[in-house]
Amino acid sequence: MRNLLRWLMVAVCCLSIVTINAQEGVKLEIVDGLYDIALKVKMEKSASRLLTEINAAYNENRALNLVNLGLAESAVSGLSALWENAHFYCDDSEVVQSCLSVGSTYQVRQIPLMIKPNGETLDDEYQEAVINFDATGKITRFNFTLSTNVYQNVMKKGKNVTEVSRRQQILSYVEQFRTAYNEKDIVFLENIFSEDALIITGTVTKVKKTDGMGISYNKVTYKKQNKQEYITNLKRSFASNSWINVQFEDVKVVKHPNPLMEGFYGVTVRQKYSNSRGYSDDGYLFLLWDFRDKDNVQIHVRTWQPYWMDENKTQPIAKEEIFTPGDFVIDL
C-alpha cells in the first residue's frame, strides 16, 4: 500500500511538472484573411517553428536558436535582443488566428504569451504578440502588441480604406517603437528620430503662491533635449538596467490639422514605464510621426508629461494640457 502510494505520488508529480512547463510544440493555423494556399502554409509553418523554438528555449532556459528558421535578419536581431530582456512562452499549443493584410505585408495578431522578465520584482504577465511577414511570407518582426481594445479603438476611427491602412501602418510602427525599449534596440531608436527631433520631458514641481495665502499648486516644467542628448541618456539607461518594461495604453492617433502637413500624425499614448532598478513612471507620451516617406518614417517630436499631478495620484493632468500635433511648428 505504502509503495503504491509512493509510485502514485511520483507519477502525479511528473505529470504536474509536464503541465507547468510551457508546451513545446506549438502549431499556428491561419483561418481567415489569406487565400493564397502556398503562402498560408509557408507562414503557418514558419510561425509554428518559431513559437515551438521559443517554448523550447523557455523550458530549457537557454538562448533562442533562430538559425535555420528562415527569419529575416530584422526578426532575428529583434527577437534575440528581446530574449535578453525577457523570457516568454506561447500559452497555447494551438494558435488559431486570422491574417491581416497591411499594405503588401501580413500580420498575425493575438499570439498569447506569458512573459517572465529577468527581474525579480515583476510577476509573470500576459502579453500578446504580433508576427509580421513580408509579401513572400518571411517573418520580418516579432513585436509585443498594444492591447486589443487599444488597437480596436484606433482602427475603428479610420473612415475609409486609405485611412484604415494608414492607421494600421502607424500602429505597426508604434508597436515596434514600444518593443524597441524592451529590446533595448538603440539602433532603431536612433534611426526613427529625425536629426533635428525635438524632445521634451516634463516634471511636476510644487509651486507656492506668493500672495500670502500659502496655497501651493502643481506645475509641470519642461526640459528640452536634442536627439543626441536623449540617445546618450537612453544608452546609459539601457546599460544600467537588466530589463526595461514599457506598456502603452489609451492610444490616440490624430492627423495633423494643417493641410500643408499632410502625412504627419500625432500619436498620444499613456506610457507606463518600469525598469530593473526600481524606477517607474506613468505619463502621456506624444510622438509626432512623419509618414511622408514610407521607407523612412521619422519622429520629429517626442514629449512626455506626467499623468498624475500630485503625489497621492488623485489629480490627473488636464486633457487640454496634453500636447497635440497643432502645438508644434515644423520647418518643412
Partner 1 sequence: MKKFFTLFILSICLCGILNAQNNSDTKAQINKIKRSSQYLSAEATMSTEEEALSLARELLVGEINDWVASKRNGAEVKQIVLQDINLCAQEMDMKRGIKTRAFVYVKKKDIVLIYGDGQIVLNNEENGADLQALSEINAPAQSDSTKNVAETQVADSVKVENEAAPVVKESVAEVTPLEQILAAKTMSDLKPVFASLKSESKINYGSYNAQTVVNECYLLFYTREGNIKAIVRKSGDKYTDAKDNSAKNIVDFSGCGAYWFMLK
Choose, by CB under 8 A, the member of 7, 36, 65, 96 that binds partner 1. Answer: 96
How many residues are present in the chain?
332
Nearest-approach distance from CB 20 to partner 1, in angstroms? 8
Query: 227-231 long-range contacts, Cβ below 8 Å, gap at least 24?
Result: 227/193, 227/194, 227/195, 227/196, 227/197, 227/199, 229/199, 230/193, 230/197, 230/199, 230/302, 231/186, 231/189, 231/190, 231/193
* Rounded Cα gap, residues 92 and 112, in angstroms: 7
Q: What is the DSSP string of 34-48?
A: ---HHHHHHHHHHHH
3-state DSSP percent of the chain in helix, strand and coil, to 5: 35, 35, 30
Check residue 249 for interaction with partner 1 (CB under 8 A): no
Check residue 126 for interaction with partner 1 (CB under 8 A): yes
* Rounded Cα gap, residues 58 and 50, in angstroms: 12
Binding mask 259-278 for partner 1 (x = CB under 8 A): --------------------
Stated as kind and residue range, the H or E segment containing 321 is none
- Identify which range of 43-51, 87-95, 132-140, 197-205 contacts partner 1 by CB under 8 A: 87-95
Binding mask 3-32 for partner 1 (x = CB under 8 A): --xx-xx--xx-xx--x---------x-x-
Check residue 41 for interaction with partner 1 (CB under 8 A): no
Check residue 216 for interaction with partner 1 (CB under 8 A): no
Site for partner 1 in 142-181 (CB under 8 A): 147-149, 152, 156
Nearer to partner 1, 134 or 250 (CB): 250
Give the torsion sign (CA, 63, 68, 69, 74). Answer: positive
Check residue 101 for interaction with partner 1 (CB under 8 A): no
Check residue 207 for interaction with partner 1 (CB under 8 A): no
Nearest-approach distance from CB 101 to partner 1, in angstroms? 13
* Rounded Cα gap, residues 303 and 47, in angstroms: 36
Nearer to partner 1, 94 or 310 (CB): 94
Choose, by CB under 8 A, the member of 123, 195, 293, 295 that binds partner 1. Answer: 123
* Rounded Cα gap, residues 153 and 151, in angstroms: 6
- Identify which range of 57-65, 91-99, 269-277, 314-322 contacts partner 1 by CB under 8 A: 91-99
In terms of DSSP bridges, do strands 193-208 and 298-306 run parallel, antiparallel, or are they unpaired? parallel
Backbone angles phi, psi at 273, to 5 degrees: -115, 140
Given the rule CB under 8 A, which residues bind partner 1? 2, 5-6, 8-9, 12-13, 15-16, 19, 29, 31, 91-94, 96-97, 110, 112, 114, 123-126, 128, 147-149, 152, 156
